[in-house]
Amino acid sequence: MAMEQPANALHLKPQPRSERRRKALIGIMQRWQLYVLLLPTLAYLFIFQYYPMYGAQIAFKRYNVVAGIWESPWVGFDHFTRFFNSYDFWMIMRNTIGLSLYELIASFPMPIILALSLNYVRTQLIKKSVQMITYAPYFISVVVMVGMLMQFMDPRTGFINQLLGAFSIGPINFMAESSMFKSIFVWSAVWQNTGFACIIYLAALAGIDPTLHEAGVVDGASKLQRIWHIDLPGILPIAVVLLILNTGQMLNIGFEKVFLMQNPLNLSTSEIIDTYVYKVGLLSQAANFSFATAIGLFKSVVSLILLLTVNTIAKRAGQSSLW
Partner 1 sequence: MRTTAIKDSLSDRVFTLLNGAFLLLVSVLVLYPLLYIVSASFSSPSAVLAGKVWLWPVEPTLRGYAAVFEYKRVWSGFANSIFYTGVGTLINVAITITGAYALSRKDLRGRSLVMMLCVFTMLFHAGLIPVYLVVKDLGLLDTRWSLILPTALAVWNLIIARTFFQVTIPDALLEASQIDGCTDFKFFFRIVLPLSAPIIAVLCLFYAVGHWNQYFQAMLYLRNPELYPLQMVLRDILVRNEVDASLITDVRVAAERDGLRQLLKYALIVVASVPVLVIYPFVQKHFVKGVMIGSLKG
Contact in structure between 269 and 95 (CB atoms under 8 Å): yes
- The CA-CA-CA angle for residues 94, 99, 100, to 5°, reads 105
Q: Is 236 in the site for partner 1 (CB under 8 A)?
A: no
Contact in structure between 243 and 321 (CB atoms under 8 Å): no
Q: Count of residues binding partner 1 (CB under 8 A)?
A: 96
Among 20, 31, 209, 284, binds partner 1 (CB under 8 A): 31
**Positions in 39-78 near partner 1 (CB under 8 A):** 40-42, 44-45, 47-53, 55-56, 58, 69
**Total residues belonging to the chain:** 323
- Cα–Cα nearest to 304, from 234, 238, 254, 251: 251
Among residues 8 and 41, whose Cβ is nearest to partner 1? 41
At closest approach, how far in Å is the CB of 13 from partner 1?
A: 23
At closest approach, how far in Å is the CB of 269 from partner 1?
A: 18
Contact in structure between 134 and 194 (CB atoms under 8 Å): yes
At closest approach, how far in Å is the CB of 168 from partner 1?
A: 14
Give CA–CA dist 32/104, Å, rounded: 46
Among 62, 64, 256, 302, binds partner 1 (CB under 8 A): 256
Query: For residue 15, what are the contacts with CB-CB under 8 A and spacing of at least 6?
Result: 23
Among residues 8 and 284, whose Cβ is nearest to partner 1? 284
Give CA–CA dist 55/294, Å, rounded: 11
Q: Is 34 in the site for partner 1 (CB under 8 A)?
A: yes
Q: Is 106 in the site for partner 1 (CB under 8 A)?
A: no
Q: Is 84 in the site for partner 1 (CB under 8 A)?
A: no
Give CA–CA dist 44/51, Å, rounded: 10
176 to 215: interface string for partner 1, x by CB under 8 A: ---------------x---xx--xx--xx-----x--xx-
